[in-house]
Amino acid sequence: MTTPESPTTPREPDVQTDAANERAIVASTAPVEGGTTDYLRNYVRRLRGGDMGSLPGVTGLIVLAIVFSLAHPQFHTIFNFGNMFTEGTATIFIAMGLVFVLLLGEIDLAAGYTAGVASAVMIRLMVGYNWSWWGTIPAALVTGLLIGFIVGWLVSKVRIPSFVVTLSFFLAFQGVMIYIVQNGKGQKGDIRITDRVVNAFANEQMPKWAGWFVAALVVAGYAAVKLLAALARRRQGLAAEPIGVNASKIAVLAVISFFIVYLLNQNRAPNKNPVAQNVNGKIVFVKPSIEGVPWVVPVLLVLFVAGTFVLSRTRYGRHVYAVGGNEEAARRAGIAVDRIRISVFVLSGFMSAVGGIMIASNVQSVSVANYGGNTLLLAVGAAVIGGTSLFGGRGRLIDAVIGGAVVEVIQNGTANLVNGQNSSAVQFIAVGLALLLAAAVDALSRRRAGSTGMG
Amino acid sequence: MADEPSEPILELRGINKSFGPVDVLKRVDFSAYPGQVTALVGDNGAGKSTLVKCVSGTYTIDSGEYLFEGRQVHVHNPRDASSLGIEIVYQDLALADNLDIVQNMFLGRERLKGIVLNESSMEQSAQETLASLSVRTVKSVRQRVSSLSGGQRQTVAIAKAVLWNSKLVVLDEPTAALGVAQTAQVLDLVRRLADRGVAVVLISHNMNEVLQVADRIAVLYLGETAAQVARSEVNQQQLVELITTGGLGTDRPGATNGVPA
């Protein structure tokens, strides 16, 4: 399932196109010499050329947020805002793993139940064998890695199409998960998690200062990377992104980060009336309070930064893109294509396990119902809506984050808007249509890229 | 460069290669010299591609001698060939469309600073290499290959060979899909490549092109070497005859092997 676009058909040979190409060259992906206006002009040209990047995802996110806020006031309460973080992040973890797989033009349909099996292993060890979080979480992660390795091995060595391998495992792992949940020592069925650390990811908040600190760290880190790179390139006489553009990107990130932390640091408890609590045998009245950034957010940030670094700054990441772009070229360049292919499934398995733990943390229990087919489809949807191509070679981890936010807004928004028995029907239809729309944007932008000579 | 032009850098003697019962190469001799363009011609199925794949290590030869810089070598895979300094520029170019020019030129041989890719060093080298080949058709080395024309792609692929200081560069039909102006540019580049002391092997179907740019011409006919001659020794008519009949005048070594109707 590698890219169907073959390089065997070079583009029109005549001189005129050559000249046209040279004009088009200015619209390259990389930093260009010149001022901010040139940069913007190039950006517009790139969009016209079919390289949409994150734009459809970001636009969709803003439009949907406005629509749902207008249609249903409950949507834009800070309580719901906080909720979306703890509900939506699991999808993003799985989607980030899927980006690696999609970059090779492969698919991992088993990701949802890989998450399920990993969390079933976690909960069985927890309730059956009294393992603590520092044993059960690694066990779940190793389960994910192993599953990924088996899938990757079957795809690259036995050469079964990944669609078939992972569809088989989609079914088989559902069974494995049911088996682990229903058998063995300890509770069975819908098993409650009592481990405080596992529950904390989605149900406990960082101290307020820590939230601000993380936001500051993110902004400072991003600024340092951007500015140092630009300075180094100028020193070496290479074209660099204009300082104005750098500065505005940093400013936008700063505004968004600090605004999110500000909102999450408010007390978002829906009912602030004091309730009676038993503290050391005494009855005291406590004001319910949910404030601070959920712990799942820093976990997401760490994995996102690490993954982005690997994809964009290391040899391994470069090779992943190369294999996705032209497998034959990669092979001739001496890249161990099979090893790359196995590795992306291993990463997907790992990230699925992380996602599985976060799903469990959010509902504070493990049951088969929480890992159904939509877990996977939401994650695939997130990656594609964010701008990762289904055809391989194009995608970034930020796609998973933006797409995951869109998916969560649709789910959350429709669930609040349409109450009653049709609620889940509407959710499915809305997310399904959004995925279809994103895939259409992907396919059309590819076609446009083909016809304008910009990919 | 330092090599004596009379000494071949690549010398193949009596190469045999068969796939099952089919003998594709039969006692093939072939030499390439530094600073010279050696054209490898022959009709479809004459064995040109197989010979190139033997040189590049994609296929291993059944028997025969493979000498590089005067020493007998064993080339079992493409890595062996590239460590000797042999670079093959394939007809389908083997460029990844989604990567830019720098990324393609360094693919599989990226420069690192610690564990991080050293982008600026690679970008500078790529720019220098293109400049040294007087390539002016490519404006930014950071544009994606998908945005390049056929001639520009060919240029990138050839520049890649130069970047790696290859001693022998094999170009498989570099102008097959190009128009007139771009063909001229690429042939110009082929010439400059040879003038730098590189041994260039040019596979081509186009007689005019071969006669225009080659210093030496090797003709394959049904898996055998029909001729290895200097450009000055043949005219177009004789070359066509060699390709289609495997010999000149009444001397037709290939005729006994049965020419397909």
The nearest CA of chain B is from the CA of A351 a distance in Å of 23
For A396-441, write each residue's pLDDT tens digit.
999 999 999 999 998 888 887 777 777 778 888 888 888 888 888 8
CATH of A15-193+313-452, one of 1.20.120, 2.60.40, 3.40.50, 1.10.3470: 1.10.3470
Window from A302-306, B157-161, B250-254 with minimum mean pLDDT: B250-254
In this prediction, residues A304-313 reach a mean pLDDT of 95
Instruction: Tell me what percent of the residues of chain B surpass a pLDDT of 90.
Output: 14
Write out chain A residues lying below 8 Å of B91, CB-based: 8
Nearest to B204 by CA among B247, B232, B248, B239: B239
Question: Is pLDDT at A34 greater than 70 in this prediction?
Answer: no
The nearest CA of chain B is from the CA of A305 a distance in Å of 14
State how far the Cα of A404 lies from the Cα of A415, in Å rounded to an integer: 16
* Residue limits of CATH 1.10.3470 in chain A: 15-193+313-452
The nearest CA of chain A is from the CA of B156 a distance in Å of 13
Question: Is pLDDT at B122 greater than 60 in this prediction?
Answer: yes
Write out chain A residues lying below 8 Å of B173, CB-based: none
ipTM of the complex: 0.81
For A13-28, write each residue's pLDDT tens digit.
343 444 444 333 333 3
The nearest CA of chain B is from the CA of A241 a distance in Å of 12
The pLDDT of residue A450 is 60
Residues forming beta bridges with residue B203, ordered by sequence position: B40, B172
Nearest to A103 by CA among A367, A337, A395: A395
State how far the Cα of A279 lies from the Cα of A291, in Å rounded to an integer: 21
Contact across the interface for B138 and A25, Cβ inside 8 Å: yes
Cβ burial of B166 (10 Å; 0-12, 13-18, 19+) is buried
- Ordered DSSP codes for A130-143: ---HHHHHHHHHHH
The nearest CA of chain B is from the CA of A232 a distance in Å of 8
Q: Is residue A57 within 8 Å of residue A403, measured between CB atoms?
A: yes
Query: What is the bridge-based pairing of β-strands B116-117 and A365-366?
Result: unpaired
The closest CB to that of B140, out of A3, A25, A232, belongs to A25
Contact across the interface for A315 and B178, Cβ inside 8 Å: no
Q: Which residue of A has its CA nearest to B153?
A: A10
The pLDDT of residue A449 is 66
In this prediction, residues A327-336 reach a mean pLDDT of 88
- Which fold does the domain B10-255 belong to in CATH? Rossmann fold (3.40.50)
For residue A391, the SS3 value is coil
Write out chain B residues lying below 8 Å of A324, CB-based: 98
Question: Is pLDDT at B232 greater than 80 in this prediction?
Answer: yes
pLDDT band at B229 (very low <50, low <70, confident <90, very high): confident
Q: Is residue B166 within 8 Å of residue B87, measured between CB atoms?
A: yes
The closest CB to that of A17, out of B124, B149, B153, belongs to B149
Distances (CA, A) of B109 to A324, B102, B103, B122: 18, 11, 10, 10
Contact across the interface for A455 and B178, Cβ inside 8 Å: no
If contacts are CB pairs under 8 Å, which of residues 270-309 in chain A contact chain B? none
Exposure class string for B65-94: b at 16+ Cβ within 10 A, else e: ebebbeeeeebeebeebbebbbbbbbbbbb
For A344-375, write each residue's pLDDT tens digit.
999 999 999 999 999 999 988 888 888 876 88
Q: Which residue of B has its CA nearest to A233?
A: B120
If contacts are CB pairs under 8 Å, which of residues 30-49 in chain A contact chain B? 30-32
Most confident residue range from A27-36, A256-265, B1-10, B87-96? A256-265
Residues 6+ apart with CB under 8 A from A209: none
